[in-house]
Structure 1
C-alpha cells in the first residue's frame, strides 16, 4: 500500500500534484521561521516524499 498513490484520479490534474507536493515544503519554511525545527523536519519529510511520488515518479501511463 502506498501512502500517496499518483495514479489516483484526484491527482490527474497536474496542478493538484504540484500543490500537494509544494504545500508541505512551504509549511516547513513557515515552521522554520517560527522557530519549530521539529515540525519543520516533519513537514519537510512529507513534502520531499510527495515530490518524489507525485512529480518525479509520477503516474504510470497505463
Structure 2
C-alpha cells in the first residue's frame, strides 16, 4: 500500500471494501485454525483502516470522469 493516494482509492466504497475484505479474510483464517495468517490479515485490516479511512486525503486534481474547471 505504498500508493494510498492513487486515484483508484478516491471513491469511499473502494476504501471500505479493502478494509472489509482484509477483516473478513482474518476472520476466515482464525475460523479455519490458522492464527498466524489470521493475525497477518488482521494487521492488514487495521493498517488499511488507518491509511484509507482515518488518514486518507484525496489527491489533488479533478476526479475521474470530470473535466478540470476552467479559470476565467
On whether the aligned pair clears a TM of 0.5, the verdict is yes
Where structure 1 has 5 or more consecutive residues not aligned to the other structure, the ranges are none
* Pairs within 5 Å for 1:5-44: 5-44=3-42
Higher RCO (CA-CA < 8 Å; seq separation 6+): 1
The count of corresponding residues between Structure 1 and Structure 2 is 60
- Report the structure, 1 or 2, having the larger helix content: 1
Using structure 1 for the length normalisation, give the TM-score: 0.85
Where structure 2 has 5 or more consecutive residues not aligned to the other structure, the ranges are 61-72
Using structure 2 for the length normalisation, give the TM-score: 0.74
The structure with the largest alpha-carbon Rg is: 2
